[in-house]
Amino acid sequence: MSMAVYNPFENARAQFDKVAEQLNLDSGTRELLRTPMKEFHFTIPVKMDNGSTKVFQAYRIKHNDALGPAKGGIRFHPHETADTVRALATWMTWKCAVVDIPLGGGKGGVVCNPPDLSQGEQERLCRGYIRRLFSQVGPNIDVPAPDVMSNAQHMLWMLDEYETIAGGHYPGVITGKPVGLGGSLGRTEATGYGVVYTLEALLKAKKLAPEATTASIQGFGNVAEYAARLYTEMGGKVIAVSCWNQAAQKAYTFKKSGGCNIEQLVSIKDSFGSIETEKAKALGYEVLDGDAWLTQEVDILIPAALENQITPAVFGKISKKVSVICEGANGPTTPDCDPLIAEAGISLIPDFLCNAGGVTCSYFEQVQCNMNYFWSKEEVLDKLKFTMNKAFDSVYELSLSQKLNMRDAAYQISIKRVANAVKLRGWVS
């Protein structure tokens, strides 16, 4: 069988088209919402430490801002393309809409591999990104945040560059800032915790006790780490974690049948989520192939790395025990795999609902910056849980009452909200 090649933007459009049809959406709105509104493709020349200049390809794409300023991360990845950013920007629109926050969808990307860059090179890249894009981002225009391989320090360099050019303080221009410099407590944990809040709600609906479940996770970056921590705190057992190894340029799965000790794994990973194989072996972990996370006999799979991981080609390898998939990553399941997942009776919490905790906390960060008054971590996480639970309940109830899978139900809710906004604004008749 030849391996299908998946394009995330085609996937995002296929998901949208299917639900636009279910909703009988008019052709003007369909055309408008299946295409990003604005795209910026630009280059960033960076002076490297060795004196040479390297030119990086970068993107910022605004999918839709009918509900509010565009919002979404900037991803640093060697395989970034215009189409991955288009897809991610589109998913941000649905993500903000499903949790009902007054923001639109945008995303950025730079083709680069941060572990290969020194701190100084990373700083110049971040500042260069903002210099190129200055007039197109802003608290009321488009607000970036961290994503794959970008972090609070990168956000602060970007903020500082923006404020230096603008000649004033504009904390609302970017979220995911360090705490004490306009960041919100809980933002680091928010995406991973949000994944587990939706999982907890689903397990409750399915009358399953978290303590009686096991999980396998793909990824060990920010999302996976905090999802693993909270799931373990709830009594669940993480059997395996898979992550990219920078030195070997391949992924490995780290397994402990009795349950991984998350703190221990965190202590032997680098800031990009790579776990050191030798140290893991010494701590008693089995080190398996990168895709072994998918074949574990567990109840829950949490893909929390990149897109296009769960496809029909690998679906047959998933254990019959799996009854829940939580999409911590954006776009980890291809549209042609959704019917197989439904047929197998697996409940899938779709990405733009499951991982909406990050952007929800970014919204709280904006609110706190606007007030210049910062909440306690407890207050932030309480509000986060409330918002995630509310969104989950609406999606779950619609999926039951209309006999839809949760992805289609979430799309119906989001598309209706955005379609209503573009109609009221008079963008379509």
Q: Rule CB under 6 A: which residues touch ligand GLU?
A: 71-73, 95, 145, 147, 175, 330, 355, 358-359, 362
Of 151 and 175, which has the nearer Cβ to ligand GLU?
175
The CA distances from residue 110 to 113, 189, 201, 371, in Å, are: 9, 24, 35, 32
Of 175 and 218, which has the nearer Cβ to ligand GLU?
175
Q: Where are the alpha helices (DSSP H) in 305-405?
A: 312-315, 338-343, 351-354, 357-371, 377-401
Name every residue whose Cβ is closer than 8 Å to that of residue 358 and which is 6 or more positions away in sequence.
73, 145, 187, 190, 191, 194, 223
d(CA 250, CA 54): 25
Hey, is 13 helix, strand or coil? helix
- For residue 301, the one-letter residue type is L
Q: At its nearest, how many Å lie between ligand GLU and the CB of residue 257? A: 32
Q: At its nearest, how many Å lie between ligand GLU and the CB of residue 213? A: 25
The CA distances from residue 123 to 48, 95, 179, 187, 394, in Å, are: 11, 29, 19, 22, 42
Q: At its nearest, how many Å lie between ligand GLU and the CB of residue 98? A: 11
Q: At its nearest, how many Å lie between ligand GLU and the CB of residue 205? A: 24
Of 64 and 213, which has the nearer Cβ to ligand GLU?
64
Of 279 and 417, which has the nearer Cβ to ligand GLU?
417
Q: At its nearest, how many Å lie between ligand GLU and the CB of residue 145? A: 3
DSSP state of 251: E
Query: Which uninterrupted H or E stretch holds 64?
Result: strand 53-64
Half-sphere CA count of 156, side-chain side, radius 13 A:
10
Of 12 and 239, which has the nearer Cβ to ligand GLU?
12
d(CA 290, CA 223): 18
Place of tokens 């030849």: 2
Of 299 and 365, which has the nearer Cβ to ligand GLU?
365
Q: At its nearest, how many Å lie between ligand GLU and the CB of residue 187? A: 8
Task: Take residue 117 and report the two structure tokens written for it.
Answer: 């860059």
Q: At its nearest, how many Å lie between ligand GLU and the CB of residue 48? A: 27
Q: Determine whether 107 is an active site residue.
A: yes
Helix axes 406-424, 82-98, angle to 10 degrees: 90
d(CA 331, CA 375): 32
Hey, is 298 helix, strand or coil? coil
Of 72 and 172, which has the nearer Cβ to ligand GLU?
72
The residue count for the chain: 429
Place of tokens 């088209």: 17
Which residue is at the shortest CB distance from ligand GLU? Answer: 73
Choice among 71, 107, 177, 237 that is catalytic: 107
d(CA 34, CA 162): 31
Residues with active-site annotation: 107
